[in-house]
Amino acid sequence: MKISVRTTGLPLCRAALPGRAVRTMATAAVAAATHVSSGSSSPMSMPPRLFNVRAAQNARLPVQPASPPRQPTTTTTTPQSQTHPLMPPGYIATTATLPTFTIPSVILPTPSHHLLAKSIISAFRRDGIIQIAQSPLQQRLCKEAMAASKQFFALPPEKKAACVDERSYGGYIASGEEVTDGIADYSEIFTITRDFAKTDSRVKAGWPCHGPVPWPEDGGMRETMMRYKTELGEEGKRLVRLVEMGLGLEEGELGRWIGDDGKQGEGGWHHARVLRFPPRNKTNGKGKEGRGIGSHTDYGLLVISAQDEVGGLFIRRPSREERFANWEESAAGLREEEEGWVFVPPVGGTHTVILGDMMQYLTRNYLTATPHKVGLNTRERFAFAYFHEPSFQAVLKPLNGGVIPTDLDDSRKNDKGVHYGTHFTNMFIRNYPERITTKRLLAEGRYGLLERPELRTIGAVPTTTTVEKSV
C-alpha cells in the first residue's frame, strides 16, 4: 500500500509517464508506516459537476468535535497564492495542493490499510476532498469516456435534445436548463441514471425517477460510458469500506444502506454525469457571467470525479462556523460570493473524491458534505462525475459507534430518518423545474408514491401498478 502526493503535468485521463514524480504525505506517522517518495508540484487536479446549497447556517446540527487545522495539505514550501495559471478569470481563491492516495484493489483488515483509512478520514475532515491515483485501466476508460463526451456534445442541438425521457432524469440537459439557487447554470450535461426498461414493474407502477436512460442512437456512447461508470462503482465500494475502517465501524455499517452485496435488491442509486462547460465568452446568456455551476452540495455518499486539463473547480473546506443540512433546508448558493473558496487545479492521472449530504447525515456531521462550485474558463472544459449513493428505497438513520459523536442535541433525538429517494427527487425537482420529467411527475400526482412502504424498503417491488398517462 502506498500513499503519495503526485503532481504531473499530464491532463486527466492521460496515462502517466514512467518514473512520474511523487510527493510525501503530510505526516511523519504515515511516512514511517508506508512507502513514500517525494517530488515536485504542478498545476492540474479535480472533477466536474459542482453544486451547493445556501446552507441553513442556523440548521440545528450537533456541535462537531474540534476539527484538524484548516490548511491545505502540502509538503512544499511554496506559499499559497491568490491566483493560479489554470484558475478561471475573475475568481480569487487559495490553491489546494492535495496528497494523492493509492487505493488497493482489495481492502483488507491489515495495519497498513487501517492507517490508510484513518489518513483518508483526516484528509476529508481537513480538506473536504481527497485525490486518488487512477489505475492504468481507469486511465484508459477515462480517456475513452472523455472522447465519447466530446463526440456527443458536438452533435447538432436537435439530436442532443432528442435524448430526454419523461420518466427518469436521465439524458441530455441543455446549457441554462439546470438551476442552482434560482440562477441558470451554463453546464451542458448528459446524466446516466439507473437504467430501467419501460416494461419494468417499477416504471409501470409510476415510481418517481424510474425509467430508461435515453442514449443517443449511434456512436457507442452507452458502452463506453457504462464501462467507466462500472469501474468507478467498484472504486466506490472500496472507498466506502475504507471510510468504515477509518471511522472505526464494522464492515457493512455504511454499505447496508446501499445494498450492493446483492442481498437487498439491486444496489445503490448510483449515477453519473457527463459534463461540458462552454468558454466564458461563448455562452447563451441565460446564466451569470463566468459561472458554470453555482455553489451546492451533492446528495448521496461520495462523488468520484475526473476532469480534463482546463481548471474550474472550487471547494470549501470543513468549518465549524459554516453549518448546513441540505436534506432539511436548501444549501444552494452557499456562500457563493464570499471569501474562503479553494481552487482545485487538475492533476493528471487522478480522480478527486468529495462527500455528499447522506455521508454527513449518517456520520452526525463528523464528516460533512463538500460545498463546491464551477467557474467558466477561457476554453471549454469537460468533466465526468460518478455518484456512489444509497439505495433509492433506503430510510437512513444516523450511525453509532467508532469515532462518530453520539451527543446529539434535542432536535436529533427523535430523528425519523431520511428517505434517500425523496431527497434525490426533491433535489432534481428543485434543479429542473421546467423539465418534462418534473412536470409529468407533479401533474400525475406520483410524488406521493414516495410515502408507500415498498418505496421505503430496500429490495421491495411494487404491490400495484398504475396506468401510465401522457402529459
Tens-digit pLDDT profile for residues 74-125 = 322 233 445 799 999 999 999 999 999 999 999 999 999 999 999 999 999 9
Whole-prediction pTM: 0.83
Phi, psi at 268, each rounded to 5°: -75, 165
Q: Are 194 and 210 in contact (CB under 8 A)?
A: yes
Q: Name the pLDDT band for 470 (thresholds 50, 70, 90).
A: very low
Q: What is the DSSP letter of 188?
A: E
Phi, psi at 256, each rounded to 5°: -65, -20
Q: What is the structure's pLDDT at 261?
A: 56
Q: What is the structure's pLDDT at 69?
A: 34
Q: 53-85: b or e for each residue (b if 16 or more CB lie within 10 Å)?
A: bbbbeebebbebeeeeeeebbbbeeeeeeeebe
Its sign, for the CA torsion 256, 260, 266, 268, is: positive
Strands (E), 356-413: 372-375, 381-388, 395-396
Cα gap 471→467, rounded to integer Å: 13
Q: For the chain, give the mean pLDDT.
A: 83
Q: Which of 276, 302, 267 is nearest to 152 (CA)?
A: 276
Of all residues in the chain, the percent with pLDDT exceeding 90 is: 75
Least confident of 98-112, 155-169, 269-283, 410-424: 410-424
201 by Cβ neighbours in 10 Å (0-12 / 13-18 / 19+) ranks as: middle
Its sign, for the CA torsion 89, 281, 178, 380, is: negative
Q: What is the structure's pLDDT at 465?
A: 58
Q: What is the structure's pLDDT at 34?
A: 37
